[in-house]
Amino acid sequence: MAYGLGLVGLRHDVDTVLGLLLGVERVVGIEDRFDARSTFYVRLRVVKKLGRRGVRLLERLVDDGWRVGLHIDNTVDHPSLASPWHELLALEELLGVRVSTATIHGGLFGGEKRWLLSKLCSLGRPVLNVEGPGFCLSIPTVTLDWIVARGGRSASEAALQRLLGVSGAGLPVAVLTHPEYFVASVGARFTLGARAYSVKTRVLKLAEKALIPLYTMAGRRLVSEPYRRLLAALRDMGYRLVHMEGLVESVYGVDLLHA
């Protein structure tokens, strides 16, 4: 039985060419089995690297009912980068559709640094319209990649329990993945919660990277199967699996197309 709102938002942050070119297709294949739709938050520079091929891929997603949002690069208002607003407009121009939600990419700086754009929310939180008429929402999010990296085969059950805990409290909740991990293994994560620039953390990150090709060749700790099991469990419990725009519109009564 579904708890709380009976909705789970599905979100994917597309940070790499591998994720866009190969991972997205695998995500879509899994979601289609469950009549689920999600939002793919893409970094503009990743789309530009693939050129027209990347644009066509995203256009097909939109035509088939998925949503595309912006994964903002310039989260620190750096003058050498386009502003978040211009990133959004450029993505809209490439795709020919309105992009109504955005999330923040946090890879440009360490976790101890403060966010410098006061209008943007913290990492992992949807941002609507980025500038001007729009607002920030804090939506509890379960990151499946991290759970897979820590929990291996029990990842889908661990993720489900976290989701049920949030949903049971009557809060909206979302699942986050990165599509590249449907193709390449997440490996093992030793640095979650560690200080960003310590020597120990740097050594651990090198160990993480060294394990990824070995795990990938062995077919270990890919996100695809835990994600499939998680969606199956949620569907069997009666949850509706919706894109982030659908979650926001249902919970907050916002019409994103006309916001």
Based on the structure, what is the number of domains in the chain?
A: 1
Distance of CA 56 to the CA centre of its chain: 20
Q: What is the CATH number of the domain that holds 174?
A: 3.20.20.370
Instruction: Give the C-alpha distances (Å, rounded to integers) separating 60 from 37, 67, 103, 132, 242.
Output: 13, 10, 21, 29, 18
Asked, for residue 11, whether it belongs to a domain, the answer is yes
Give the end-to-end CA distance of the chain in Å, rounded to a whole number: 33
Assigned domain for 137 exists: yes
| C-beta atoms surrounding 132 within 10 Å | 7
Question: Higher model confidence: residue 53 or residue 133?
Answer: 53
Please report whether residue 129 resides in a domain: yes
pLDDT, position 130:
41
| Positive or negative torsion for Cα 109, 73, 159, 244 | positive
Highest mean pLDDT among 11-20, 122-131, 161-170: 11-20
pLDDT top residue among 78 and 248: 248
* Residue that wins the pLDDT comparison between 205 and 242: 242
In whole angstroms, how far apart are CA 68 and each of 22, 129, 198, 207, 245? 16, 13, 36, 33, 10
Residue type at 19 in one-letter notation: G
**What local confidence, expressed as pLDDT, does residue 98 receive?**
85
pLDDT tens, 108-144? 443 333 333 333 443 333 443 444 445 567 788 999 9
Domain membership of residue 15 (yes or no) is: yes
Determine, yes or no, domain membership for 19.
yes
Classify residue 130: in a domain, yes or no.
yes
Nearest to 144 by CA among 112, 93, 182: 182
Alpha carbon distance 244, 154 (integer Å): 26
Q: Locate 137 and state its tokens.
A: 């929402």
Q: Which of 9-18, 22-31, 129-138, 214-223 has the least mean pLDDT?
A: 129-138
CA dist 182 → 82, 95, 188, 219 (Å): 30, 24, 15, 10
User: Residue 192 has what pLDDT?
Assistant: 53
Q: Count, in order, helices (H) and strands (E) of the chain.
A: 10, 8
Residue 63 belongs to a domain: yes
DSSP-derived secondary structure letter, 236? H
Residue 203 lies in a domain: no
Close Cβ partners of 138 (under 8 Å, ≥ 6 residues apart): 121, 122, 125
| Region 166-180 average pLDDT | 90
* Residue span of the structural domain in which 163 resides: 7-186+221-252
pLDDT at 24 over 70: yes
